[in-house]
Structure 1
């Protein structure tokens, strides 16, 4: 749709409702192949596999939690398809035309953290390949800068620059890239798994990893109970769901380009529960086979590929995983931060310029590597910050507004989404209360039990959503006109 007389402070061509809607189920499906099929996705799946204690437990925990992910993504995806607007603009309906900058900046900060983490993961795959050469191995061990080896810094800069080239021509280029990058990693995954199973001499669903080694590998995950226990499985499901916390918010950045609601639902069905379970299954098989072949628990695929005798297989695995990891970075992090930063200063910052700003900040963060450490802990700590935001947006869209949004008013300074001076105080208060329990208390104090952080995102969604709903009953929003979408 065309927006009539939008405010320049709220509008640019990138933030406008999508005009070209040609994304079918396959493109939506490949949003998820690009998002999941990465070095970080594999690392997390392999780490969670250890916590489950058995293959049956692993598939049960991942399967059930993947259904939850599917349902949540549909809620946001349908809103994006219906309105055609990106996440920071949709957030104006619940937070206010200026208040939406709060969730936008929070999401942008998280995207920038993940952008750095994924770029570092992609560069590590390249490093693992290059150090097979004795001269480069010596250079890697002897030369250091910015808290890393010089070879790691060079590879990080290479991957960092390649991502900027992908985004040069906008969202349609992103779609074309993800349509082949996501499926490509399945080839590498299968080559990795089949090659290791053949080398192991048998196909097994029993990992045979001693309990003391499992405990050593999972001690930093912040989980009560030993691997395979009820609480360990609960933590696995919670962490898997929380891993997608960022995209629950901004999946509408992609679903806004979908042809219809059915395309979103079908793409999500194949891309989430079906694809997630299959991907996790292959990650588990690879972990088992790698332990049988090398006698080590190898959670990073580049560690496995580095042990290959064949240069060709090592090159195939390293480059495919690197490309796939670039895919998730462009899809999940570059796109989101670009829209979010553009939303704050739409007159000065376009989609591309917002993405460049995010990329530069990620580059500055690299020497500090805040993403290093336990995969589960990083995912839960980062994800918890976005719980209240999702709770508020979902409650507002489905229960308060009942799925009706005045799209034109999202771009008007004096419309019904102005609330109190451009801020919806109800949403602001709910965000503060929810964040106290999801992020501040569990991560910065010892007032709550240690296990609380594992479920911080869930507490944020629930508390933020409930507080917002109660406040909305006390101070109701203005009814929308009959023509609202």
Structure 2
């Protein structure tokens, strides 16, 4: 749509509603192949698969979780198709024209952490290949810099630099990259699974792995209870849903380029419930076969490929998983902060500069590697902070506004979304209350039961959304009457 006199402090070319819409169902599908098929995604998928205890339990827990993910992504995705705006601009409707900078910066910080985590994982895949050389193994063990081995630092910087080359030409280059990377990773995943199944001579779902060995290997997955129990299955589904918490917010950064809601729905259907089930199944079968071959529970694919006798196969696997991790970083952890930082200072920062800031923060964080504190703690805490924001935005868009939004007003300082000086106090009250129960109490106190943290994101969505709706009930009635 054509904007009428947008305020310079709220608008630049990258933040404006999308005019070129070339992302069909295949590109939307590959958003999800790029987002899920990473080293961290494989680790979590394999862990959750094995903790289900049986194939039927896997279909129930991961299938239910994947359907919830599909519904959530469709909600925010449809808003993106209809309005054509990125996440921080859509957030102005509920948080205010300038208040939206707060959730945008929260999302950007999350992305910067994940950017570093995924870059480190991709660098680790290359390190696992290189240390097959005795000389490089000695170098890896004896030379250290910034709290890491010098070889790890070199590989991290190489991967970090390669990602910048992908995004220099904007979102269309992102689409072309993921359309190539997504299928390539699937091909490598199937090859890895087939190779190990043939070598092991078995096709099973983890029942032969001793339970004590399994629980020790999957401790970071954050799933309590015996594998296959109701408590474990509920935690598996919840952890799987929470893993995508950050993208629930900014999937509209991609869906705004979709050709239609039909294309979005088709891409999401194949990319989420179908693709997620298949990916988890392949990861679980591969890990089980690797246990039969190597006698270890290897939840990280680079650890499996490092054991290959063939240098060529090890090289192919390492490069493929590095590319996969570049894909998720570009999709999930570059695009979002690029728009988020641009939203804060639209006159000074465009899409590219915002992305460079995010990459720079990830580089500065590397010596401390905060993402190495444990996968479950990291995923659950970061994910739970996103819950209240998502709940508030979806309640505002679907329950308060019934899917009707004045897009032009999103770019007006003195328009409908000015609220109180550009900040919507009721949204921030709801956000604060939601975060107390989703993140703060379960993380820093023992007031709540131990299991609460696993479901923190859900409490955040429900409590934040409910408080916001209660505070806005009068406005909702007036909008319905209009």
TM-score, L = length of structure 2? 0.98
Between the two proteins, the alignment pairs up a number of residues equal to: 482
Partner of 1:171: 171
- For residues 8-47 of structure 1, the aligned pairs below 5 Å read 8-47=8-47
Partner of 1:132: 132
Contact 1:416–1:478 (CA under 8 A) maintained in structure 2: no
Partner of 2:416: 416
Alpha-carbon distance, 1:481 to partner: 12
Contact 2:79–2:252 (CA under 8 A) maintained in structure 1: yes
Give the Cα–Cα distance (whole angstroms) in 1 for the partners of residues 220 and 189 of structure 2: 27
The superposition leaves residues 91-124 of structure 1 with CA deviations (integer Å, 9 ceiling, x where unpaired) of: 0011110110011011001111111111011111
> What residue ranges of structure 2 are gaps of 5+ in the alignment?
none
Alpha-carbon distance, 1:479 to partner: 4.7
Alpha-carbon distance, 1:445 to partner: 1.5
Is structure 2 residue 81 aligned with structure 1 residue 78?
no
The superposition leaves residues 244-268 of structure 1 with CA deviations (integer Å, 9 ceiling, x where unpaired) of: 0011000000000011110110000
Would the alpha carbon gap of residues 32 and 319 (structure 1) be closer, same or farther in structure 2, given more than 3 Å must change? same
> What residue ranges of structure 1 are gaps of 5+ in the alignment?
none
Give the Cα–Cα distance (whole angstroms) in 2 for the partners of residues 219 and 328 of structure 1: 24
Partner of 2:434: 434
Alpha-carbon distance, 1:377 to partner: 2.7
Alpha-carbon distance, 1:204 to partner: 2.4
Alpha-carbon distance, 1:412 to partner: 0.4
Partner of 2:230: 230
Partner of 1:195: 195
- For residues 179-258 of structure 1, the aligned pairs below 5 Å read 179-258=179-258
Alpha-carbon distance, 1:172 to partner: 0.3
- For residues 309-320 of structure 1, the aligned pairs below 5 Å read 309-320=309-320
Give the Cα–Cα distance (whole angstroms) in 1 for the partners of residues 480 and 89 of structure 2: 17
Give the Cα–Cα distance (whole angstroms) in 1 for the partners of residues 372 and 59 of structure 2: 27
Q: Secondary structure at the match of 2:203?
A: coil
Q: Secondary structure at the match of 1:385?
A: helix
Would the alpha carbon gap of residues 40 and 154 (structure 1) be closer, same or farther in structure 2, given more than 3 Å must change? same
The superposition leaves residues 141-160 of structure 1 with CA deviations (integer Å, 9 ceiling, x where unpaired) of: 11111111100000000000
Give the Cα–Cα distance (whole angstroms) in 1 for the partners of residues 344 and 253 of structure 2: 16
Contact 1:384–1:460 (CA under 8 A) maintained in structure 2: yes
Q: Secondary structure at the match of 2:69?
A: helix
Give the Cα–Cα distance (whole angstroms) in 2 for the partners of residues 446 and 91 of structure 1: 33
Q: Secondary structure at the match of 2:296?
A: coil
Contact 2:11–2:346 (CA under 8 A) maintained in structure 1: yes
Give the Cα–Cα distance (whole angstroms) in 2 for the partners of residues 308 and 160 of structure 1: 26
Q: Where does structure 1 differ by over 4 angstroms across 4 or more consecutive aligned residues?
A: 474-482
Partner of 1:63: 63
Contact 2:78–2:261 (CA under 8 A) maintained in structure 1: yes
Would the alpha carbon gap of residues 45 and 19 (structure 1) be closer, same or farther in structure 2, given more than 3 Å must change? same
Alpha-carbon distance, 1:22 to partner: 1.3
Is structure 2 residue 332 aligned with structure 1 residue 332?
yes
